[in-house]
Amino acid sequence: MGTTGIQTPTPTRMPSVERRELILAAATAVFGERGYAGATTAQVAKAADISQPYVVRMFGTKENLFLEAMDRALGKLLNAFRTLISEYDAGRMDSQVAALDPSLGETRAGHLRGLMGRAYADLIRDRGILLLLMQSFVSGHEPIIGPRARDAFLALFRLVRDEAGLGPQGASDFLAQGMLMNTLISLRMPEVFETNPLAGELLACTMKTKLDTVLAASQAHPRID
């Protein structure tokens, strides 16, 4: 047989920094859905539209890929909160503050609590960030990932307690709300919002003014699986 006309398609070349970010974004979505153990490097590769060995080649091991995705996710979350705190303190958020639930109180801490809650809900749009962190939080048994996840959680606690000024009890309460939101998203509760009244009420009470944001986000990214 002679050579056919079929050509092996030339792979899309890309600077490695850019490629890394692409893979990390894919890994965030996949690990966020399936957890560290449940996800495969092949699934990440498919989501990033490259070959499986290349994923491993670039990050060394699956574990290391997870760790880097986790750092990236934590960085984005901390950064979102810090940016918001700066803007609040610079007096640049009066319109946002006006839209807050008045039951949060008129103090700086009360305002920031409301603003951070909203920022948190907005992050759901950034596919997988919060889910990946949640998956890391239930991986405490992993020898390397576990301690890093613990540190990540504590960094979050410190930020909310000190920089946002919620104090220890306020920070604990804030994080509790966050963990419930994560759980409901993980459980895909928004997908049954309309068909299950019980789920609807739970979501409404938990998400409050952020409900519309959360529902929109769940419609925005259809299943990867």
Q: Which residues bind DNA (CB under 7 A)?
A: 11-16, 19, 39-42, 50-54, 56-57, 60-63
Q: Quick one: CA torsion of 37, 39, 40, 44, rounded to 10 degrees?
A: -140
What is the DSSP secondary-structure string of 88-107?
HHTT--HHHHHTS-GGG-SS
CB of 42 to DNA, least distance (A): 5
Query: Measuring CA to CA, which residue among 83, 84, 69 is closest to residue 127?
Result: 69
From the list DNA, a copy of itself, none, pick the one residue 34 interacts with, judged by a Cβ distance below 5 to 8 Å according to partner type.
a copy of itself
CB of 185 to a copy of itself, least distance (A): 8
CB of 131 to DNA, least distance (A): 18
CB of 4 to a copy of itself, least distance (A): 40
Q: Is the CB of 34 or the CB of 46 nearer to a copy of itself?
A: 34
Q: Is the CB of 96 or the CB of 177 nearer to a copy of itself?
A: 177
Q: Is the dihedral of CA 58, 64, 65, 70 positive or negative?
A: negative
- What angle is formed at CA 211 by the lines to CA 206 and CA 214, rounded to 5 degrees? 105
Place of tokens 């998956």: 135
Distance CA 41, CA 61 (A): 9
Long-range pairs of 101-107 with CB within 8 A, sequence gap ≥ 24 = 101/208, 101/209
Note the residues at the interface with a copy of itself (CB under 8 A). 33-38, 134-135, 137-141, 146, 149-150, 153-154, 157-158, 168-169, 171-172, 175-177, 179-180, 182-183, 186-189, 192, 196, 198-199, 201-202, 204-206, 225
From the list DNA, a copy of itself, none, pick the one residue 61 interacts with, judged by a Cβ distance below 5 to 8 Å according to partner type.
DNA
Paired tokens of 222: 């259809």
From the list DNA, a copy of itself, none, pick the one residue 3 interacts with, judged by a Cβ distance below 5 to 8 Å according to partner type.
none
